[in-house]
Amino acid sequence: MGLMEQEARGPDSPATIRARTWWRQYLRTIWRSKRVFAAHGVLFLTVLASVLAPLYPVDPFDQQLAQSLRAPTLIQEQNGLPALLGTDSLGRDLLARLLLATRISLMVGGLSVLIACLVGTLLGLVAGYLGGLVDAVIMRIVDALLSLPFVVVAITIVAAIGPGLINIALILGLTGWVTFAKLVRGEVLRLKEIDFVEAARSLGCSVTRIMLRHIAPQVVGLVLVTITLTLGQMIIAEATLSFLGLGIPPPMPTLGGILSDAQTFFFSAWWIVIFPGVVLMLIVLSVNIIGDFLRDYFDPQLIQ
Amino acid sequence: MYSYLGQRIFQGLLAILLVLSMVFLVLNVSGDPIRLLLPPSASAEDVEAMRKSFGFDRPLVYRYFVFLNQMVQLDFGNSVQTRRPALGIVLQRLPATLLLAFSALSLAALFGIPLGILAAVRRGSNLDTLAVLLSMVGQSTPVFWIALVLIFLFGVIFPVLPPSGYGTAAHLVLPAASLSLFLLAGMTRVTRTSLIEVLNLPYVTVARSKGVREYRVIVKHALRNAAIPIVTQLTLQMRFVIGGSVVVESIFGWPGLGQLLAQAAFARDYPVVIASTLFVSLFILVFNLALDFSYSAIDPRIRLWD
């Protein structure tokens, strides 16, 4: 690494200042709308709670059959904390299980979005820039997957490779990349007609360099928006699969799995039905609000 | 026109072929369901005999062509669970799913479009805020949770509707309502956005300044131009209807394709999985094709073929 580059990363270098200003601007903008601010707050708290989940002193796997289906209470039991959100049919603490389940939801969601984003952005860049046969083949696959219900495709593949945390993340990622590919390709088709790409080409840049250094940075905003909007879908998809018993197998708590168990105890235990659903809805709602906000933020022309 | 139709059908079938091939590949790379079917105590010869009877002892490429040949003939083989032909099982389930899907879609259109229109016309009012809120919440709530809450409300607290089953109109209400809330949210959102956009166009101002009555401006002038995105939304939503029906049917014990698919996937009964996937895809293909042709009926400027 040269001296120049080292200097370029110092605390007061232009890049750092630019990043700092960017964040300041961003924070100032989210203040303006109560809804957007609340969404950021909820998401931040959810992430924080799921990171700190292991610190909660109640074991989410600990079965206390004598304590089964306890309603939410503030009264302390002789052994430790009160069951703030009640217990499930096996006497496991619902709050502890929800914390761990949220962590898993975010992990699977994040991992699958990451896979979808990498695969989709790359294929979208390639399809859009190279065109021709490559484009035709990639877009046929994209259209095929987009014409079918996401959940049906995922279920069909689960039937083949079986459930499990990594399998689900892989399946969701490898079926969800099409949205990225389609959007990125469209943007690349527009960008490659602009003069700066022509300039790079006439300067003798290689195809890879033009794609990665000149075009890719221009689609970052679009990709970030798509990441956010896809994350909500992935979290719902994982919950749906787990609810159907095709996702992450018990005893691991998942929001979908807890709700699936709740079906049996409808008549006696409302808290198992309500709380996991509310958590799930709040996460997805705030992610979607942030996604909509980012779309306007990166493309000010769209604001009306 | 016929060449356009042919081209679209060809594209659709190609899409289905791609998905089926993918499914075939995944299914065959990841082992066979024989082990799941036989008790752990089954001898090696039993496993081998079973494998032979299902054709798992042949090479992959050979099996792929056999598979394609079967697909074309709609011969999916027998269900691994019940030993009955998968095609028959699937066809038997189809009407229930169609009933549920169209009920949910009609409910969503019946309530979502008027709500979207009202929200767009009274932009900024309390009603508008409510509509926007509803559409945001509706699109962020998983279908299965809506279903659970509705059962809880109308099956447990106010027991007025049967919480599960099939047969009478009362049985249809809860499943269709749970499925349609998500759709309704999307429908409201699209109608509202599309109509707001059109209402800002100069021709609407012209109509108003001519003295055309406001409801005629909206219904006759604006709505027609705002209709295309709404129809497109219907096209997109059929995927969600079918996806959602998997969950809703499982919860309500609705004997349709969705429930069948979930059960078959759980048992790894893949003749049935493939047959259901194929029929679901065919159905979506036909539905979307029909809607595509309605574009030029709504807006004569749109010509899908030359």
Q: By the 8 A CB rule, do A101 and A164 touch? A: no
Using the predicted structure, report yes or no on whether residue B38 has a pLDDT greater than 80: no
The band of A112, judged by pLDDT with boundaries at 50, 70 and 90, is very high
DSSP A212-245: IIIIGGGGHHHHHHHHHHHHHHHHHHHHHHHHTT
Q: What is the pLDDT of residue A304?
A: 36
Question: Which range, of A123-137, A287-301, B92-106, averages the lowest pLDDT?
Answer: A287-301
Higher confidence at residue A134 or residue B232?
A: A134
Chain A contact for B247, CB < 8 A?
yes
- Using one digit for the tens of pLDDT, what is the confidence trace for A181-194? 999 998 888 888 88
Q: Which pLDDT score is estimated for B40?
A: 64
Check whether B160 has a pLDDT greater than 70: yes
Chain-centroid distance of CA A242 in Å reads: 16
Give the 3-state secondary structure of residue A110: helix
Q: How far apart are the first and last CA of chain B?
A: 7
Chain A residues touching residue B251 (CB < 8 angstroms): 263
**pLDDT at residue number B188:** 92
- pTM as predicted: 0.84
CA distance B142 to chain A (A): 6
What are A221-231's pLDDT values in tens digits?
889 989 998 99
Going by pLDDT thresholds of 50, 70 and 90, the confidence category of residue B267 is confident
Closest Cβ–Cβ partner in B11, B277, B285 for A156: B277
Identify how many contiguous H helices and E strands chain B contains and give both numbers: 13, 0
B115: confidence class by pLDDT, cuts 50, 70, 90? very high
By the CB < 8 Å criterion, does B142 face chain A? yes
Q: Which residues pair with B85 in a beta bridge?
A: B78
Check whether B186 has a pLDDT greater than 80.
yes
Q: How far apart are CA B78 and CA B176, in angstroms?
A: 31
Average pLDDT score over residue span A144-167 = 81
Confidence of residue A173 (pLDDT cuts 50, 70, 90): very high
Contact status of B19 with chain A (Cβ, < 8 Å)? yes
Mean pLDDT of the residues in chain B: 83
Which residue of chain B is at minimal alpha-carbon distance from A230?
B140
Residue B173 contacts A, CB cutoff 8 Å: no
- Considering only the beta carbons, identify the residue of B142, B156, B273 that sits closest to A280: B142
Instruction: Search chain B and give the residue with CA nearest A35.
Output: B133
pLDDT tens, A239-270?
A: 999 998 888 887 888 888 888 888 877 777 78
- Confidence band for B103, pLDDT divided at 50, 70 and 90: very high
- pLDDT band of B35, cuts 50, 70, 90: low
On average, the pLDDT of chain A sits at 83
Ranges A19-28, A38-47, A166-175: which has the least confidence: A19-28
pLDDT at position A53 is 79
Rounded to the nearest angstrom, the minimum Cα separation between B100 and chain A is 16
What count of CB pairs under 8 Å joins A to B? 145
Sequence-ordered alpha helix ranges (H) in A33-164 = 34-52, 94-130, 132-146, 150-161
Please give the average per-residue pLDDT across B74-100, as a whole number.
85
Per-residue model confidence (pLDDT) at position A1:
41
CB contact under 8 A, B15 and A245: no
As for the ipTM of the complex, it is: 0.82
Q: What is the pLDDT of residues A280-301, one digit of tens each?
A: 999 999 999 998 888 888 875 5
pLDDT, greater one: B177 or A262: B177
Q: Which of B140, B150, B158 to mutate to test the interface with A (most CBs of A within 10 A)?
A: B140
